Structure 1
Amino acid sequence: MHVLRKPRVEQLHRKMLNREIDRRDFMAVAAAAGLAPVAASLVSPARAAEGDMIHYFTWSAYEVAELHQSFVDKHGSSPDWSIFASAEDGLQKIRAGFVADLAHPCVDGVPRWHDAGVIKPLDVSRIDAWDDMFPALHTMNGAVIDGDVYMAITDFGLSSVIYRTDIVEGEESWGMMFDERYSGRICGRNDSASLSIALKMLGYDPMNPTPEQIAESAELARQQRGLVRFYWDSQTDMEQAMASGECVVAYAWNEALVNLLNQGIPVAFAAPKEGAFGWACGLVHLSAAENDEGMAYDFINAWLTPETGKFLIESYGYGHGNAKSFDLVDRETLVALGYDDPVRLMEGTSFWVPLNPEIDELMLETWEDIIAGL
């Protein structure tokens, strides 16, 4: 029995540097070095010259064969692939003429892809595991538009509090991020999501706040600012601070738990009494797709097999759209990741869904003011 195993180095070090950075951080580092255009245009060499293979536009480290093994078994190789720095980066490249068959954005961005006319509805009758997926993922806001399904949600995860179990005591709550006992040892995230935490602490709906509620949450976030060691842009920086003890409480994604436990650091991923935040991502079929549609659905089906889910859960710490995946993972691992009851988790989680554009802009502007000390 194991709790969390590392991905195989030979599969992931190309983009993940032996798990020292996550898929988001890889592209952030590339962008900072001026290499984003190169990184984003990387194409798998195995089938790049062949015109009949589908093209997959995705996150770094989502191109590995273990996440679509049945596709490889059927077609002889992985699809051609390219990497985007962010889902918004991917959308802009597609709007500029980049051609692919499938892409992997997150559900909160799907309406923008739909409004841009770059995706088309899915035929769920061709998705083999559709009935094995969590029902909540079938109807999640953003995945379904005007009655049509535009995304098959393949993966999801949590944003919560990670903490050093050898130092931090007390109830698991978002209040840990505001606890004065840990002043100067708290790592926040440099993102308007920090305002969403404050909204949740105040009892408001973080996915549908009013301007007045945002103003109130901003005051709470300003109070927290004096307790924070630093706000992280790269989760790797936060993980290093947690490992050294510089920080003992932090905002984190599931993957941080995987990485820190693999280093032997005593940490836990909280199940806050107020509920965690969640993200959900998946596959969309691009309107300009040029290759075999049947092959595209083979790839969707490969992503949604229980075996893919087992690998995703154990190696990345992320949840999987197929409920049967969780039956293949030992309970100790599921408990460590907070997935021992996925249905209850979804019911108690505030998933990032599309916000009203004006509210989204206000959240961003307010957060920028807080970071600037205003």
Structure 2
Amino acid sequence: MKKSSVLLASAAVALAFSAPVRAADPGLLVFDWAGFEIDGLLTGYVAKNGDKPTYSFYGDDDEAYQKLASGFKADVAHPCSQMVSKYRDAGLIEPWDASKIPAIADIDPQYLQSPIFKDAQGVWFIPTDWGAAAIAYNPEQVPAEDVATLQVFKDPKYAGRISLPNSSDDVWALAYLATGVTDWTNVSEEQFQAAAAWLREVHPNVLSYWADPAEQAQTMASGEVLISWSWNDGVTNLRADNYPVAFQREPVEGSSTFVCGYVNLKDGPGSEEKAYDFINSWLAPTSARALLDNIGYGHSSLKAMETIPMEEQIEAGVGPVNAPILPQVPNDPVMRERQLAEFEKIKAGF
């Protein structure tokens, strides 16, 4: 994620586990992805409390979970939706009190449909931001017809010029789409094996598995990588540095989407009241502009997204598309762990 330059963002991620990275109001510790300490997302919080919360940063969903499961204490954390069941099963979170979050009514209902997020006990996950995983490419060197299909990742013409995220969820979303699957909630053994075989075919073409969008942007800006399976923020980084980049969300097989949000961690060291100040600041309609301009993501609030012209949403890669979509909703935890283990084998060349 980026505020000013790719190099600064990379430095922030490098410090991700030296908590806290950004000390401010000691009354709230936010465990978050690097780059989300954006002024426009925290306007309401700062107005009430005089400063931003204290932040500790991470760069990977699974690593963040492991750190919290190992005893690290914070007040709120920012997982993506497929991780919420792990947080619940481990007893790391407690429900939010929806009566203290008026703008929860403005959240797009599709983001709260799962009983993992909302049940009789309350709301366990407040969706705040969403993005896409799709093809980022250099249009000056890669013809548009080449990225009309996800099979471009296997094309020998681009051997050593491709990067993929070091994220099991995003890589498996790509592999399932490339092998004809758009719903990963009920994957058969045959579908799993086909996706794994596809990833093994792609692996020799991969120059790097990027750890964060800043790293991804750097490899593309250097010219080493021409095609990447990318989040919106990697494209935002590159455009901010005037690098020629396009974002293809409509290959014939489709692309993926993900939604992330905040969970209320049990036994946090800070103020519960300030946790609600934080989430209410995030859900303000004015937050959508800061989120889109700085990171390239869409906001979960329908009212907030109404403040962004549709042409800007499309340009950023959060507008409607005419292609299949694999949403990264919660899936079978056993299958997710199996995918994670298989991905490690594939990266190792097995």
AA aligned opposite 2:42:
H
Q: Tell me if structure 2 keeps the 8 A contact 1:40–1:85.
A: no
Q: Residue 326 in 1 paired to residue 302 in 2? A: no
Partner of 1:135: 109
Shift in Å, 1:86? 3.9
* Structure 1 unaligned regions, length at least 5: 1-5, 10-17
Q: Secondary structure at the match of 1:129?
A: helix
In the alignment, which of 284, 287, 291 is matched to residue 305 of structure 1? 284
SS at match of 2:153: helix
Q: Deviations over 1:252-284 (max 9, x none)?
A: 111111111122222111113333222221122
Give distance in 2, aligned partners of 1:211 and 1:188. 24
Residue of structure 2 aligned with 1:240, choices 198, 202, 218: 218
The 8 Å contact of residues 121 and 285 in structure 1, kept in 2 or not, is answered as yes
User: Quick check: 1:68 aligned with 2:42?
Assistant: yes
**How far, CA to CA, are the matches of 1:265 and 1:274 in structure 2?**
27
How many residues end up aligned between the 2 structures?
344
> How big is the shift at 1:146?
5.9
CA RMSD of aligned residues (A): 2.8
1:49-92, Cα deviation, whole Å (9 max, x unpaired): xxxx3332322222333211111112222233333454444444
**Contact 2:94–2:265 (CA under 8 A) maintained in structure 1:** yes
Q: Which residue does 2:316 correspond to in 1? A: 337
Instruction: Determine the structure 1 residue equivalent to 2:339.
Output: 363
Task: Map 1:277-296 to 2 at 5 A.
Answer: 277-289=256-268, 292-296=271-275
**Structure 2: 5+ residue runs without aligned partners?**
none
Which is higher, the Rg of structure 1 or of structure 2? 1
Query: 1:325/1:176 Cα in 2 relative to 1: closer, same or farther (>3 Å)?
Result: farther
Instruction: Using structure 1 for the length normalisation, give the TM-score.
Output: 0.81
CA 101–361 in structure 1, closer or farther in 2 if over 3 Å, else same: closer
Distance across 1 between alignment mates of 2:149 and 2:122? 37
Contact 2:297 2:318 in 1 (8 A): no
Q: Distance in 1 between matches of 2:260 and 2:184?
A: 19
- Distance, in Å, in 1 between the alignment partners of 2:337 and 2:266 is 28
| Contact 2:139 2:244 (C-alpha < 8 Å) held by counterparts | yes
The one-letter code sitting in structure 2 at the alignment partner of 1:55 is L
Per the normalisation by structure 2, the TM-score is: 0.86
Of stretches 75-84 and 275-284 in structure 1, the one that deviates more from structure 2 is: 75-84
Alpha-carbon displacement from aligned partner over 1:292-351 (angstroms, at most 9, x marks no partner): 54432222111011111110011111111112223333444322222233xx69x95323
Give 2:230's aligned amino acid.
A
Match of 1:176 in 2: 152
Question: Which residue of structure 2 aligns with residue 197 of structure 1?
Answer: 174
User: What SS does the corresponding residue of 2:306 show, helix, strand or coil?
Assistant: helix
Offset at 1:165?
Answer: 1.4
Matched, 1:262 2:247: no
When residues 141 and 182 of structure 1 are mapped into structure 2, their CA distance, relative to the original with a 3 A threshold, is: farther
Is the Cα–Cα contact under 8 Å of residues 126 and 297 in structure 1 kept in the other structure? yes
Offset, 1:368: 2.7
* Residue 14 (structure 1) aligns with: none
The whole-number CA distance in structure 1 between the counterparts of 2:96 and 2:74 is: 16
Q: Say if 1:141 and 1:354, in contact at 8 Å, map to a contact too.
A: no
Mean CA deviation greater in 306-315 or 110-119: 110-119
Higher mean C-alpha displacement, 282-291 vs 264-273:
282-291
Higher mean alpha-carbon deviation, 360-369 vs 111-120, is at 360-369
- 1:154 matched to 2:131: no
Match of 1:103 among 72, 77, 80: 77
CA contact (8 A) 2:75 2:268 kept: yes
Against the structure 1 CA distance between its residues 57 and 226, is the aligned structure 2 distance closer, same or farther, given a 3 Å change threshold? closer
CA distance in structure 2 between the partners assigned to 1:132 and 1:299 by the alignment:
17
Cα–Cα, structure 1 residues 210 and 264, in superposed 2: closer, same or farther, change >3 Å?
same
After superposition, the Cα gap between the structure-2 partners of 1:244 and 1:93, relative to the gap in structure 1 and judged at 3 Å, is: closer
Tell me if structure 2 keeps the 8 A contact 1:100–1:286: yes
Q: Distance in 1 between matches of 2:271 and 2:234?
A: 38
The amino acid that maps onto 1:196 is A
The match for 2:6 is 19
Task: Give the secondary structure class of the aligned counterpart of 1:100.
Answer: coil
- Output the CA distance in 2 between the equivalents of 1:61 and 1:159: 18
Judged with a 3 Å threshold, the aligned counterparts in structure 2 of structure 1 residues 60 and 214 are, in CA distance, closer, same or farther, namely same
Partner of 2:138: 164
